[in-house]
């Protein structure tokens, strides 16, 4: 193991593909879901904030340490139920260096608890810049005679709208380090259609279908059999498009955000999955981590926010597995 790389407790086993490790964990836990670790001040119980303000003052460091306490409690409460977490880097970047340090600590802690980590970084730039993002998040960086895995995620989300130059360096790192990516294809947000749904004169089809075609192509060299290490992001809020994209991308695992807080429900999602009940992993962030603020879970109270998150995971699993008939 390279120096600075996290130990993690998920064994590599026989698998040389990251996606196979994810599938193994999904099957082991019967849980095609991922919990998004997207902490924000308004979601953190006041007691946790106060405790950290007392220790660090009302500083970025105080806020970041409250995020850390929050994340750790949620990871502890749900890690036996789920295969992976997806920390959203923006929520940590908002707090500057102190936030970045907690992003890093969260990744390390989740991996030590046996979880795979999808770094939601949505990067993509000219080739040399993308290579730097890919090395920092998924790859290795050599300093003199030492080698480091700076952030150490297992997967990252990638924005492909600068083309192959933007995605290629991530694919190279996936091949070299057995890592994976999820490439934005049809996003969950209300205005995703402004550009993504534009019909191209050349194909007569929406732009996101061209991206889907490219995702299959980018994945080819990372594929042994079955799914490739290059996945796609398709929003739960667009079930009809999800069904079409499942057909168009037979070798592409789909990360499905938009469940819960954005309105996605289990019965909308069945067509994102393949005939074996694989092929998709559904994310919920606020719906899980801020469950204690919702009426259904109010009984837990802010003191027991992590238990409320656990119950919300169990309910999400029942909803999705129920819709899939298992």
Q: Please identify every residue annotated as catalytic.
A: 122
Which C-beta is closer to ligand OMP: that of 52 or that of 283? 283
**With left for phi above 0 and alpha for psi between -120 and 50, is residue 144 left, alpha or beta?**
left
Q: Which residues contact 156 (CB under 8 A, 6 or more apart)?
A: 118, 119, 120, 121, 123, 133, 134, 137, 138, 170, 179, 181, 182
- Minimum Å gap between C-beta 195 and ligand OMP is 13
Round the CA-based radius of gyration of the chain to a whole number and report it. 19
Looking at 287, 308, 311, 320, which residue binds ligand OMP (CB under 6 A)? 287
Which C-beta is closer to ligand OMP: that of 152 or that of 231? 231
Which 26-65 residues touch ligand OMP, going by CB under 6 A?
Answer: 36, 38
Looking at 235, 239, 242, 266, which residue binds ligand OMP (CB under 6 A)? 235
* Residue 3 CB neighbours (<10 A): 11
Q: Which of 280, 261, 262, 260 is nearest to 270 (CA)?
A: 280
CA 297 to chain centre: 24
268 binds ligand OMP (CB under 6 A): no
Only one of the segments 2-10, 19-27, 101-109, 181-189 lies at the binding site for ligand OMP (rule: CB under 6 A); that segment is: 181-189
Which C-beta is closer to ligand OMP: that of 103 or that of 140? 103
Distance CA 180, CA 171 (A): 8
Task: Tell the burial category of 7 from Cβ atoms under 10 Å away from its Cβ (0-12, 13-18, 19+).
Answer: exposed
Which C-beta is closer to ligand OMP: that of 89 or that of 140? 89
88 binds ligand OMP (CB under 6 A): yes
Only one of the segments 21-29, 144-152, 204-212, 279-287 lies at the binding site for ligand OMP (rule: CB under 6 A); that segment is: 279-287
99 binds ligand OMP (CB under 6 A): no
Between the CA atoms of 7, 129, 61 and 154, what dihedral angle is there, to the nearest 10 degrees? -30
Distance CA 247, CA 238 (A): 15
Only one of the segments 25-33, 70-78, 277-285, 300-308 lies at the binding site for ligand OMP (rule: CB under 6 A); that segment is: 277-285
Distance CA 135, CA 196 (A): 28
Q: Please check whether residue 216 is in contact with residue 251, taking contact to mean a CB–CB distance below 8 angstroms.
A: yes
258 binds ligand OMP (CB under 6 A): yes
Which positions from 107 to 146 touch ligand OMP by CB under 6 A, shown as an x/- string? Answer: -------------x-x------------------------
Between the CA atoms of 286, 114, 221 and 252, what dihedral angle is there, to the nearest 10 degrees? -40
187 binds ligand OMP (CB under 6 A): yes
233 binds ligand OMP (CB under 6 A): yes
* DSSP codes of every residue in 65-82: HHHHHHHHHHHHHHTTT-
Only one of the segments 69-77, 107-115, 167-175, 280-288 lies at the binding site for ligand OMP (rule: CB under 6 A); that segment is: 280-288
262 binds ligand OMP (CB under 6 A): yes
260 binds ligand OMP (CB under 6 A): yes
Q: Please check whether residue 209 is in contact with residue 203, taking contact to mean a CB–CB distance below 8 angstroms.
A: yes
- Minimum Å gap between C-beta 2 and ligand OMP is 27
Site residue total, ligand OMP (CB under 6 A): 21
Whole-angstrom CA distances from 172 to 20, 39, 111, 282 are 18, 31, 23, 26
Applying CB under 6 A, which residues contact ligand OMP?
36, 38, 88, 120, 122, 157, 187-189, 233, 235, 257-258, 260-262, 283-287
């Amino acid at each position: 193991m390279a120096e600075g790389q996290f130990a993690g407790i998920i064994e590599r086993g026989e698998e040389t593909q990251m996606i196979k490790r994810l599938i193994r964990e999904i099957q082991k836990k019967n849980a095609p879901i991922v919990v998004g670790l997207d902490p924000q001040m308004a979601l953190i119980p006041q007691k946790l904030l106060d405790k950290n303000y007392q220790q660090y003052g009302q500083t970025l460091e105080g806020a970041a340490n409250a995020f850390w306490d929050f994340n750790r409690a949620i990871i502890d409460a749900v890690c036996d139920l789920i295969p992976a977490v997806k920390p959203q880097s923006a929520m940590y970047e908002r707090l500057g260096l102190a936030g970045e340090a907690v992003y890093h600590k969260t990744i390390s802690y989740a991996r030590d608890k046996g979880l795979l980590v999808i770094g939601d970084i949505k990067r993509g730039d000219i080739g040399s810049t993308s290579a730097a993002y890919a090395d920092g998040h998924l790859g290795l960086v050599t300093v003199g005679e030492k080698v480091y895995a700076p952030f150490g995620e297992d997967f990252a989300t990638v924005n492909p709208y600068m083309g192959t130059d933007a995605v290629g360096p991530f694919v190279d790192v996936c091949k070299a380090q057995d890592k994976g990516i999820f490439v934005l294809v049809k996003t969950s947000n209300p205005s995703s259609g402004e550009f993504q749904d534009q019909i191209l004169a050349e194909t007569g089809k929406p732009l996101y279908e061209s991206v889907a075609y490219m995702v299959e192509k980018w994945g080819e060299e990372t594929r042994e059999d079955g799914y490739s290490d290059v996945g796609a992001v398709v929003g739960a809020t667009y079930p009809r498009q999800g069904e079409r994209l499942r057909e168009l991308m037979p070798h592409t695992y789909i990360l499905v955000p938009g469940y819960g807080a954005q309105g996605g429900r289990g019965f909308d999602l069945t067509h994102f999955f393949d005939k074996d009940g694989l092929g998709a992993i559904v994310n919920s962030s606020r719906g899980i981590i801020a469950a204690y603020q919702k009426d259904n879970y109010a009984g837990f109270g802010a003191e027991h926010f992590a238990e409320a998150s656990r119950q919300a995971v169990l309910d999400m699993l029942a909803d999705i597995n129920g819709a899939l008939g298992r």
